[in-house]
Structure 1
Amino acid sequence: MTKPKIKTYSTGSFRDNFMQQEASLDSMMKSGFDKFFIVLVEEMLRVIKLPVPPVRATSHSLIYLTSGEAIMSIGSDTHKIFKGQCFVVPAGQVFSFRHRDINKGYLCNFHDDSVIGKFGKNALLKDFEFLKPWANPCITLQPASAKHVEQLFRRILQEYKQHGLTHRDIIQSNFIALLCELKEAHTTVARATQTQAAQLTNRFKELLFKNLRTHHRVSDYAAFLNISPNHLNKAVKAVTGKSPTKWIDEAIVLEAKVLLHQSDLSIAAIAEDVGFLDPSYFTRLFKKHEGLTPVAFRKRIEKS
């Protein structure tokens, strides 16, 4: 039997399911929006249907604030940003949000193809580590950098509103410059904390993202990394404040929560999808982290 998968939305299917279908939407998201679009955050908030449950997308999103605040769940944690800060939601990462925050700024949604295009190369994407699902989703910009980033967002939005993607070269060149500004801000913070333990932790999180359904033991990931479980435990806990076991358990529970939101699969089927043949063990793990059973969690979803 093929295991069920968490639904991942293309830009088009996300629009169909989570946005009000009105005339203004077509003027905001022009032809080719599945590869790239940019809007003002406050305009998008007027058409989004809330709450957006835990989902994944096939494209990346950037949210940059010029005023106010924004709250979003990305991965297993909830984050808040303010003016001069940016949310990065990489393709494939689980995200959700519930509230219509009071803020202003820019939202850009883009596929890898729009970065490569005419001026970029596949290797360029490897430079933007902040677009990886295991990276820190929040970027704080220094005032000078924030000024440049805001100018770039404004220029790209102006071009997009006037010409859509017909002036793709102008949009792409400015957008690559914007990503390079974000990369510098992200790398500056990373350099300050890039100890050997931090590098090891990033590799662990990358492996966890790729192998969650099949590997649940710390010893498995230690073996992948050719180190002892004790070494991995010390490194991850020192960098993140959480043990590898807690990272693994939280990732499993997050996968299960998405399936509980998206499907009517039985608890046993969900347990199997996240790698447990024993539904009772899965239920105990879920309750330990969420404070209620998967059945009770699903009932709470249905009432909300």
Structure 2
Amino acid sequence: MTKSKIKTYSVESFRESYIQTEPRIDTLLKLDFGKFFVVKVDELIRLIKLPVPPVRSTNHTLIYLTDGEAIMTVGSETHKIVKDECLVVPAGQVFSFANLDLNQGYLCNFHNDMIIGKFGKAELLKDFDFLRVWGNPRISLDGQTSDFVAHLFRRILLAYSENGLTDLDIIQSYFVALLCEINRVYKPMSSSTQTNAVTITNRFKELLFSTLKTNHRVTDYATLLNITPNHLNKSVRTIIGKSPTKWIDEAIVLEAKVLLHQSALSISDVAAEVGIFDASYFSRLFKKYEGVTPLAFRQMIEKS
């Protein structure tokens, strides 16, 4: 059996695969764009080769809208943002989108290094929950915060457009301020005051992200968290209204969809890559959530 990991794109390889090779792109993305870039979202979307199938990136992506709407699938959930809202795709998280949305605003893609340095510190990465895979990707800004964020984006874009990362100190200082403004109004997936349940749920989602191939049962995660399966089930249901079993199933199907898009592996090999060695069970599970078998899903991809 040929092993194949789900592909994670660097910014450079994503550009090669999904952005049109036009002269305009070189004026939008400066040197070292693999570390950081910022653009007007409507200018970049025109150059994207749609649809973008489920993929991952080594960098974080932040979208902020000043008008219109944007629709993107992050993880297993589809989100729509409108004016005065942000959408965050953490590094390593699966995302996809298919629409040429009519909107205005800013898109920023950045490596963790942009937060660590002269004007930042490593601790900030822990403070910004929206940059973690279990965070809430959709963030609504109040009017004043939206004004601040819009001003900071304009200033960052001006510096970046004129000199790229030559003005790194200026860009980083404004960028850290921008993230702090967003963090000030950020709300987690649940506003519940049951902090223990929130902590358990977040740890479960983080473990799910990192150990999915080997852990498919609620009891596996309960053991890792040193709690009972019933406690884990109650905590997760309380905070996100969905059972841990469903979260696990949806994560398995999402991983499989990425592999079906990105690889030529047989269906049984795709199943094995997500930790399922019974191909018929894998097909039933996939159809339960997608409405079609893995084979039919791949055929749909090939026709598109």
Normalising to structure 2: TM-score of the pair?
0.97
Question: Does the residue aligned with 1:54 lie in a helix, a strand or coil?
Answer: strand
| Alignment match, 1:59 | 59
Map of 2:96 onto structure 1: 96
After TM superposition, the structure 1 = structure 2 runs for residues 222-237 of structure 1, keeping only pairs within 5 Å, are: 222-237=222-237
Q: Which residue of 1 aligns with 2:254?
A: 254
2:29 corresponding residue in structure 1? 29
Q: For residue 283 of structure 1, report the CA deviation from its aligned partner.
A: 1.1
| Aligned partner letter, 2:77 | D
The answer to whether the aligner puts 1:290 opposite 2:290 as a matched pair is yes
Return closer, same or farther for 1:9/1:194 CA change in 2, 3 Å cut-off. farther
Deviation at 1:276, TM superposition (A): 1.0
Name the amino acid aligned to 1:172: Q
Q: How big is the shift at 1:221? A: 0.7
1:151-179 C-alpha deviation (Å, 9 max, x unpaired) = 10110001111111111000000000001
Give the conservation status (yes or no) of the 8 Å contact 2:152–2:178: yes
How far apart in 1 are the matches of 2:291 and 2:207? 27
What CA distance in whole angstroms lies between the structure 1 residues aligned with 2:153 and 2:292? 43
- Per-residue deviation at 1:233? 0.8
Q: Using the TM superposition, give the Cα deviation of residue 2 of structure 1 relative to its aligned residue in structure 2, in angstroms.
A: 7.3
| Native 8 Å contact 2:189 2:240 kept in 1 | no
* Aligned partners of 2:190 and 2:240 also within 8 Å: no
Q: How many residues align?
A: 303
How far did residue 278 of structure 1 move? 1.4
Contact 2:2 2:265 in 1 (8 A): no
* Matched residue, 1:71: 71
Gaps of 5+ in 1: none
Any gaps of 5 or more consecutive residues in structure 2?
Answer: none
Query: 2:117 aligns to what?
Result: 117
Partner in structure 2 of residue 106 of structure 1 = 106
Distance 1:278 1:258 in 2: 19
1:49 aligns with 2:30: no
SS of the residue 2:107 aligns to: strand
Give the corresponding residue for 1:193: 192
CA positional deviation for 1:7? 0.5
Moved more, 122-131 or 294-303: 122-131
Question: Partners in 2 of 1:149 and 1:92 — Cα distance?
Answer: 25
Equivalent-residue separation in structure 2 for 1:192 and 1:100 (angstroms) = 33
Deviations along 1:161-205, one digit per CA (max 9) or x if unpaired, are 111111100000000000111111115x57842422222111111
**Once the 2 structures are TM-superposed, how far is the Cα of residue 130 of structure 1 from its aligned partner?**
0.7
Give the deviation of 1:124 after TM superposition. Answer: 2.0
State the percentage of identical aligned residues: 63
Runs of 4+ in 1 over 6 A off after TM superposition: none
- Shifted more, 9-18 versus 229-238: the winner is 229-238
Equivalent position amino acid for 1:141 in 2: L
Letter of the 2:45 partner, please give it.
L
Deviations 1:96-133 (A, max 9, x none): 00000010000000011122132222222111111011
Match of 1:255, SS state, is helix
Q: Does 1:82 align with 2:93?
A: no
CA distance in 1, matches of 2:206, 2:2: 25
Letter in 1 for 2:163: H
Alpha-carbon distance in 2 for matches of 1:135, 1:122: 18
Give the distance between the partners of 1:243 and 1:191, measured in 2 at CA.
Answer: 15
Q: How many Å separate the matches in 1 of 2:234 and 2:217?
A: 15
RMSD: 1.3
Q: Secondary structure at the match of 1:117?
A: coil
Give the match for residue 10 of structure 2.
10
Cα offsets for 1:35-94 (capped at 9, x unmatched) = 000000010011111100100000000000000000000000110000000000000000
TM-score by length of 1: 0.97
SS class of match (1:5): coil
Q: Which amino acid aligns with 2:192?
A: T
